[in-house]
Chains A and B, each alone.
Chain A
């Protein structure tokens, strides 16, 4: 197996608050290979965005990485000194944020922001950087880039602005792009274009993409593999077709909206009862146990660790051979 671009090992992120330590990420592991798109889904507060911020080294106090390792192409980056980590950001890892309206500094021209980023990470001259900036804008599909490059951000539409943001993330040809809800703030018609753009760029440049979203539709369309997060842990991870069509974890089943109803036999959308616990009130055992229709005693005391089950890795006692099967079905 070739070396993954990103490898996260037992990552833990904590937030120190007056009321105690909150575990935002509690021991997650995953890999992303070259050219692969990993979708990360979950409800808000599940720790998707925090994972992205941790990888790119932008966890601010009172948050901190409390344990685990993050490896970029085999080299640890979570313990780099700030200045070295800064050189990784933007150069080797690009990031795209949710809202293109607020991601761009309103007082600087697009050209200024692009050239500044390019020149921070390369030795290009100002004119070469400008040429590269125009090429980038053309690549992300902005028409007449020579003319548009000197516009201010507010002079672009939302979708065009997100293209500019993507161009900014691509400035130094990064190995990994973290896209944090890149389509959430956009019109539905534009969403598909941006997704198609991301997919194409990933394919053409062999860039690994970590796509954080709460939109299963986007994941199903874009991702190669998907990680389902719940309360700071990965409930299930596996190939996207597998997880979408045949989810194993009860939470993933609920998320896919495909839990067969026992009474009627008909397939219909079933909402998961209750809501995700606050970080300050995560129950012992499996964090999902109060909402789980298949809960049994072991779930309330022992936290399930991820286990390999066919192509999935799933953190659920139901799939642990040592669990008593009869208990589970009841």
Chain B
């Protein structure tokens, strides 16, 4: 168990280090850190002085180490656009993105599993075919078009839901949440659907395929031969086995959801990290881009690690093979 987790943790650190190099290269070479301190029309001599004071003439490995150390302490430099520490900007926007990603994942998992189980059990039914068609469209339509379509329908035409922003938020310590107010919840609906739709179709397809696979296994045949009820077989035995890979997918996709939030946040002007990132790309605000990359990578590996641990809890085979070394 321990060895397994440690091996995974080492891999995670490897990934983080690789991303760190890219992030540093962007920070140092694509952007000019001097621009964080001075404005563009500062004379060359003064820029040179700032350059030296920032240690930019040190050897590159030294600079890299310094970058990593400060990044580990949450210091990612200063945004060109906002003249504020990048870490403050990101911290301020993080709750919005995480809440959106969480709601989108709940939506995607709930509906995806339901639709997948249904179309796995009733493969040839009309509704299953409808689900298949919807999933093809869900994969073909670009996210932003889905968002715009929803806005046109529910904001412009029907006027039921707000088309942008988070609504009213409540402050809990440093965290702001939209989950506690009616307008906050209403504002979450369309962005969550837009963001979750792709994941929903993905989960649905996987659950359906897994369900079909599991229903063909010997233990399901044996369960039927023991005269268990169809309900017990489908929703006890088959579903539990189906959900094992789904946990992985949902977990791994959570990272993608956060990254895809870039598009959704832009469509709905959602004040999250994604919107901040897009503005940074538009305005070539390198420190924010570099920090965002590092942050997303961190979230990714953290989730991967969590999924690995969760996996060992759900699947007893894995748990004991790890506990009792062969």
Contact = CB atoms under 8 A, between A and B. Distances in A.
Direct contact of A and B (CB under 8 A): yes
Interface of A: 56, 58, 86-91, 94-95, 97, 99, 102-108, 116-117, 120-121, 152, 154-155, 165, 168-169, 171-172
B173 interface: no
Contact of B226 (A99, A102, A108, A120): A120
Interface stretch (B38-46, B143-151, B161-169, B236-244): B236-244
B225 A107 contact: no
Interface stretch (B15-23, B101-109, B314-322): B314-322
B49 interface: no
B222 interface: yes
B221 interface: yes
Contacts of B226: 89-90, 94-95, 117, 120, 168-169, 171
Contacts of B219: 102-106
Interface of B is mostly: helix
A88 B226 CA distance: 9
B217 interface: yes
Contacts of A87: 227
A89 B227 contact: yes
Given A90-B226, A91-B227, A168-B226, A120 B232 contact: yes
Interface string B210-237: 0000000111011111111110100011
Contacts of B232: 116, 120
Question: What are the 8 A-B residue pairs with the smallest beta carbon separation, nearest first?
Answer: A90-B227, A89-B227, A95-B225, A102-B218, A90-B226, A103-B222, A152-B316, A105-B219
A106 B314 CA distance: 11
A107 B241 contact: yes
B317 A154 contact: yes
Interface in B190-221: 217-219, 221
Q: What bracket does the count of chain B residues touching chain A fall in? A: 20 to 34
Given A86-B229, A88-B227, A120-B232, 17 more contacts: A89-B225, A90-B226, A90-B228, A97-B221, A97-B225, A102-B217, A102-B218, A103-B219, A104-B219, A105-B223, A105-B240, A106-B241, A107-B244, A107-B314, A120-B228, A152-B316, A152-B317
B228 A168 contact: no
A56 B237 contact: no
13 contacts: A56-B225, A58-B225, A86-B229, A89-B224, A97-B225, A102-B218, A103-B218, A105-B241, A107-B244, A108-B237, A117-B226, A117-B227, A169-B226
A270 B224 CA distance: 41
A165 B217 CA distance: 15
Counting chain A CB atoms within 10 Å of each CB, which of B226, B244, B314, B315 scores highest?
B226
Counting chain B CB atoms within 10 Å of each CB, which of A91, A97, A165 scores highest?
A97
Counting chain B CB atoms within 10 Å of each CB, which of A99, A154, A168 scores highest?
A154
Given A102-B218, A103-B222, A108-B237, A116 B228 contact: yes
Interface in B75-105: none
Nearest to A106: B317
Counting chain A CB atoms within 10 Å of each CB, which of B223, B236, B241 scores highest?
B223
A105 to B, nearest CB: 4
Nearest to B227: A90
Contact of A99 (B218, B225, B230, B316): B218
Contacts of B227: 86-91, 117, 120-121, 172
A104 B236 CA distance: 13
B316 A95 contact: no
Interface in B279-324: 314-317, 320-321
A121 B314 CA distance: 29
Contacts of B240: 105, 107-108
Nearest to A56: B225
Contacts of B244: 107
A151 B237 CA distance: 17
A95 B222 contact: yes
A168 B221 CA distance: 13
A154 B320 contact: yes
Given A105-B219, A107-B241, A155 B320 contact: yes
Contacts of B241: 105-107
Nearest to B222: A103
Contacts of A89: 224-227
A97 B320 contact: no
Nearest to A95: B225
A94 B321 CA distance: 32
A56 B315 CA distance: 31
A58 to B, nearest CB: 6
A171 B237 CA distance: 18
B242 to A, nearest CB: 10
B123 to A, nearest CB: 11
B251 to A, nearest CB: 18
B310 to A, nearest CB: 14
Given A86-B229, A154-B320, A104 B222 contact: yes
A172 B320 CA distance: 31
Counting chain A CB atoms within 10 Å of each CB, which of B222, B224, B236 scores highest?
B222
A119 to B, nearest CB: 10
A168 B223 CA distance: 10
A171 B236 CA distance: 19
